[in-house]
Amino acid sequence: MSMAPGDGGGKRRYHSPGRAERARRTRAAVLAAAHELFVARGYAGTTIRAVATAAGVSVPTVEQAFGTKRGLLKHVVDVARAGDDEPVAILDRPPALAAAAAADAADFLAAATAEIAVVAARVAAVQAVLATAAAADPEIAALAREIDAQRRVVAAWLVDGVRTRAGLRGERERAVDAVWTLLDPVVHGRLTAGCGWSSGEFADWLADALGRLLLPDRG
């Protein structure tokens, strides 16, 4: 008797759209509750049990979906950065793809920095939680370094996007270092929460700053 590839001779897996939708809603409820509690109580003051209670689920449900509290915080940060829980990289999402389709460097920077400002505003509160926790928790410090590394990938994408459209002022790695620094959430926080800038004003400033930093002098 032959078997279909991968069925192992056992029963077929049953896929229930209703069950998948319930799981999706449960996951979203847990992430929303965790985000609210992390921001309100900080990382140390938030427990898996408190998140489960706020989300209306059991502790094992949270642990099965996210593992440890560190894993839960990582997912909360990822969702704040991306805007949803879909497994799609930031640079593969529509805003980044739209920026990548821009023909010239100015349009590329304008589109990219508009989205960067939106993401920075969305992630600001939980990013502050992460920074505070990292100072006292080596595991969270490692998570913060992971997110810093992800920000460097975005910085390199911006630098290369300008370079392919208009050339580049100076040496690439130094340019990536500088852009990585400008994308630090601390910069956004200082200018918005600290100085009262709007998200649009921040985006315009960042596009101008990146243009001045990266574009070759045409004079």
CA atoms within 13 Å, Cβ hemisphere of 20: 4
- Of the candidates 38, 61, 204, the residue with the CA atom closest to the CA atom of residue 125: 38
pLDDT exceeds 70 at position 4: no
Same domain (yes/no): 32, 68: yes
Sequence-distant (≥ 6) Cβ neighbours of residue 193 within 8 angstroms: 124
Is 2 a domain residue?
Answer: no
CA 88 – CA 99 distance, rounded (Å): 17
Q: State which of 69, 87, 105 marks the end of a domain.
A: 87
pLDDT exceeds 50 at position 64: yes
Same domain (yes/no): 67, 130: no
pLDDT of residue 107: 97
Q: State which of 41, 60, 87 marks the end of a domain.
A: 87
CA 160 – CA 53 distance, rounded (Å): 46
Same domain (yes/no): 83, 100: no
pLDDT exceeds 50 at position 37: yes
Is 208 a domain residue?
Answer: yes
pLDDT, tens digit (0-9, with 9 covering 90-100), for 80-120: 998 888 888 999 999 999 999 999 999 999 999 999 999 99
pLDDT of residue 218: 63
pLDDT of residue 21: 86
Question: Which one has a higher pLDDT value, 2 or 38?
Answer: 38
Task: Report CA-CA distances (Å) from 35 to 12, 16, 157, 178.
Answer: 37, 29, 28, 30
pLDDT exceeds 70 at position 167: yes
Same domain (yes/no): 72, 127: no
> What is the number of domains present in the chain?
2
Q: Containing domain of residue 105, as a range? A: 89-219
Is 9 a domain residue?
Answer: no
CATH number at residue 71: 1.10.10.60
CA 114 – CA 1 distance, rounded (Å): 60
pLDDT exceeds 80 at position 8: no
pLDDT exceeds 90 at position 18: no
